[in-house]
Structure 1
Amino acid sequence: MRALTKALVSATTAVGIAVGGLAAAGTAMAAPASAQQQQQAASAEVAPLAVNNLGLSQAQAKNVQRWLATHWDYNGAIDGYLGTNSWKAFQRCLDKHWGYNDAIDGIVGPNTIKALQRLLHANGFYNGAIDGIAGSATKAAFERWANKV
């Protein structure tokens, strides 16, 4: 009987160690997933600041950035990526002359697009509806304008 009790205690101890080791291994394996989730969350926070070239090539976007630097206090990189700072400068222009009446936040929403459509229309590049939708006609007009500035 004493041998049987000793065997059961040994087996229980071995199982306990194994389970504890697996639990620790599970925790160790979960850490990279947690770090990955944090990285994805950080990326999601950056999403609103993403580049929005509205169909422009990098060269055309550089033309726009140079124009913004000359006329609208844009002091960011001339890199061909219309990001938040490029659009904030553009919104200052659109606010002053083209009926933009929203926050200067660099987000390209319907009000930014409507004001851009007004600018493009007044300069003979766009003849579509002033609807705040960056459709193919708006993008094509923006490309033509970007080639001229």
Structure 2
Amino acid sequence: MGTKTNALTRTLIGVTALAGLAVGSLAGATAGSAAPVRGAGTSVSAGTTLNATVNLGLSTTQAKYLQCYLKNGGWGYTGAIDGDLGANSWKAVQRRLADGYGYTGDIDGIVGPGTVSALQRRLADGYGYTGGIDGIAGPGTQAAFKTYANAQSGWC
């Protein structure tokens, strides 16, 4: 019985150590080191889709302001005003950013570096963004995005 107990104890210790390493690795991840988030309905692999809401720090109310602007301002948003910025919201954002802010990528709803860089150019144009145009949605980008979304409240 002692050999089985020792083997079971070693197994439990090993599993616990692996779980601890995994949790520690996730806890150390930052926005800058995380992979870009794919938009809702974006094909990940054959037969698999990932549905994501990417609000980049906006509250539900702020995201609703942005959706109202995208819907009522002529940027082609036809979805619900629900405060969840999914692929359809981001496609409308990309259409907006293609009009004067250097977005040249596909209108695909994926919030990747190209979308974020164009968003940073927009936010630097009167919404308080002073950082680099680096395609990383860090704290400065998110703070300016909140200012931008709040400025759209009149569209609702």
Q: TM-score, normalised by structure 2?
A: 0.65
Aligned amino acid, residue 126 of structure 2: N
Q: Which has the larger Rg?
A: 1
Q: Which has the higher helix share?
A: 1
1:41-120 correspondence to structure 2 within 5 Å: 45-47=48-50, 49-71=51-73, 72-120=75-123
Aligned amino acid, residue 76 of structure 2: D
How many angstroms apart in 2 are the aligned matches of 1:140 and 1:112? 17
Q: Would you say 1:131 and 2:134 are equivalent positions?
A: yes
Is the CA contact 2:127–2:148 (under 8 Å) kept in the aligned structure 1? Answer: no
Q: Offset of 1:135 from its aligned partner? A: 0.4
Q: Offset of 1:90 from its aligned partner? A: 0.6
The runs of at least 4 consecutive aligned structure 1 residues that moved more than 2 Å come to: none
**Count of paired positions:** 107
Q: Which has the higher strand share?
A: 2
- Provide the aligned C-alpha RMSD in A: 1.8
Identity of aligned residues (%): 53
Q: What's the CA shift string for 1:114-145, capped at 9, x where partnerless?
A: 00000000124211101000001100110111
Q: Offset of 1:147 from its aligned partner? A: 0.9
How many angstroms apart in 2 are the aligned matches of 1:127 and 1:76? 32
Q: Offset of 1:46 from its aligned partner? A: 2.8
Higher relative contact order (CA 8 A, sep 6+): 2
Q: TM-score, normalised by structure 1?
A: 0.68
Q: Which runs of 5+ in 2 are unaligned?
A: 1-43
Aligned amino acid, residue 93 of structure 1: R
How many angstroms apart in 2 are the aligned matches of 1:148 and 1:67? 10
